[in-house]
Amino acid sequence: MSKKILVLPGDGIGPEIVAQAIKVLQALQRNFGLDVELEHGLVGGSAYDAVGNPLPQETLVLAHESDAILLGAVGGPKWEPLDIALRPEKGLLGLRSELELFANLRPALLYPQLAGASTLRPEVVSGLDIMIVRELTGGIYFGRPRGVRKLETGEREGFNTLVYRESEVERIGRVAFEIARKRDRRVCSVDKANVLECTELWREVMQRVAGEYPDVELNHMYVDNAAMQLVKWPKQFDVMVTTNMFGDILSDAAAMLTGSIGMLPSASLDQDRKGMYEPIHGSAPDIAGKGVANPLATILSVAMMLRYSLEEPEMAERLERAVHQVLNDGLRTPDILSEGMREVGTEQMGDAVTAAIGEAA
């Protein structure tokens, strides 16, 4: 039975980059028999403009019915004055929590062809290949009680709650260990167990989960040290697993080690490996409509989708090889352009990857 993919282009450069990813999917359908059906829906600011809601009920129904979701990006200055409940980002957060997409996978992979794009010295980053596994539906971003209250003195006090159940730590831990098994078999669990009881429990549970994976090495690191080590010697890491907030911060830092925001994909998975796939960057309103956005992060998100939700690892590799080939051929969108390379726009890059996928033998 064919798998269903819900396509949500979103706002800003979203529709431009998603159009390239669709071309690639269609090439895989045409040439290699990828058995998928594409459905389209609205999310974010464009959904608000159309129906007054950044996450329309219709989109939610389609999302529940699909095996995987491909999302462009949401947001932009146009919608910033809106009440927080109506902002485009609510659409994205709503999808993550409604679908219980608790495991956020963010690779920080440096393409050798782009080693010069990093702000760190090439010898520090060349060969960098880290997978950050961030817990996405718990922790301090969702914990209750939360709010701002007035004290007897008249002063206001803001408060949030960091909370993790053992089962939540176990399930994200297992995702990290399973992924490590397909890589270099090393997991670094990042916490603040010296100060926060909640992450003391996190550490204890991670240790317990590690018992189920004797072939994978586990070590623990405090988050402040992890931030330092990421910049000092990032190649020491294979898989990092951490809480929602620590992962939010560390994954952005790790991504930036590669110097190319337009290159990095992400996946957010549920218990059954259904997932939402999206580039890590935003809607880039400054370049929207100009035809210069780099579509490779979105195309590489399709490769993650093939690997994690559609169980088509060979097609994922085929697609990743095609991306390597266009980079080897010297094609570059402006964000990754360097001397001697050929500058191309969004569509040309999409066409080049589509062509590089090739025909079935």
Strand ranges in 194-323 using DSSP code E only, listed in sequence order? 217-222, 239-242, 265-269, 275-279
Kindly state the smallest distance separating residue 210's Cβ from ligand NAD, in Å: 32
Smaller CB separation from ligand NAD, 176 or 287: 287
Smaller CB separation from ligand NAD, 173 or 282: 282
Contact status: 255 vs ligand NAD (CB under 6 A):
no
Kindly state the smallest distance separating residue 69's Cβ from ligand NAD, in Å: 12
- Output the CA angle 10-312-214, nearest 5 degrees: 105
Contact status: 172 vs ligand NAD (CB under 6 A):
no
Strands 36-40 and 3-10: parallel
Smaller CB separation from ligand NAD, 203 or 281: 281
Calpha distance 11→200 (Å, rounded): 40
Smaller CB separation from ligand NAD, 11 or 168: 11
Kindly state the smallest distance separating residue 114's Cβ from ligand NAD, in Å: 13
Of 92, 108, 209, 218, which one interacts with ligand NAD (CB under 6 A)? Answer: 92
- Number of residues that this document lists for the chain: 361
**Looking only at residues 124 through 153 of this chain, which bind ligand NAD when binding is defined by CB under 6 A?**
none
Kindly state the smallest distance separating residue 38's Cβ from ligand NAD, in Å: 20
**Looking only at residues 333 through 352 of this chain, which bind ligand NAD when binding is defined by CB under 6 A?**
335
Contact status: 262 vs ligand NAD (CB under 6 A):
yes
Which tokens is 53 given? 């809601």
**106 residue type, one letter:** R
Kindly state the smallest distance separating residue 108's Cβ from ligand NAD, in Å: 15
What is the distance of C-alpha 68 from the center of its chain? 14
Kindly state the smallest distance separating residue 6's Cβ from ligand NAD, in Å: 15
Instruction: Tell me which H or E stretch contains 159.
Output: strand 156-159
**Looking only at residues 268 through 297 of this chain, which bind ligand NAD when binding is defined by CB under 6 A?**
278, 281-287, 293-294, 297
Calpha distance 350→136 (Å, rounded): 30
Calpha distance 256→356 (Å, rounded): 27
Q: What are phi and psi of 140, to 5 degrees?
A: -70, -20
Site string for ligand NAD, 67-86 (x = CB under 6 A): ------xxxx----------
Smaller CB separation from ligand NAD, 13 or 187: 13
Calpha distance 138→117 (Å, rounded): 34
Task: Give which of 344, 106, 130 is closest to 237, Cα–Cα.
Answer: 130
For 236, the 3-state DSSP assignment is helix
Annotated catalytic residues are 141, 192, 224, 248, 252
Judged by CB under 6 A, the number of residues near ligand NAD is 22
* Cβ(45)–Cβ(78) below 8 Å: yes
**Looking only at residues 107 through 126 of this chain, which bind ligand NAD when binding is defined by CB under 6 A?**
none
* Cβ(188)–Cβ(247) below 8 Å: no
Q: Quick one: 131 exposed, middle or buried, by C-beta within 10 A (0-12, 13-18, 19+)?
A: buried
Site string for ligand NAD, 8-37 (x = CB under 6 A): -----x---x--------------------
Kindly state the smallest distance separating residue 187's Cβ from ligand NAD, in Å: 26
Q: Which residue has the tokens 């809601």?
A: 53
Question: What is the torsion angle, in degrees rounded to the nearest 10, for the CA atoms of residue 230, residue 235, residue 236 and residue 242?
Answer: 50
Smaller CB separation from ligand NAD, 130 or 261: 261
Smaller CB separation from ligand NAD, 60 or 296: 296
Question: What is the torsion angle, in degrees rounded to the nearest 10, for the CA atoms of residue 254, residue 255, residue 259 and residue 265?
Answer: 160
Residue ranges in contact with ligand NAD by CB under 6 A: 13, 17, 73-76, 89, 92, 261-262, 278, 281-287, 293-294, 297, 335
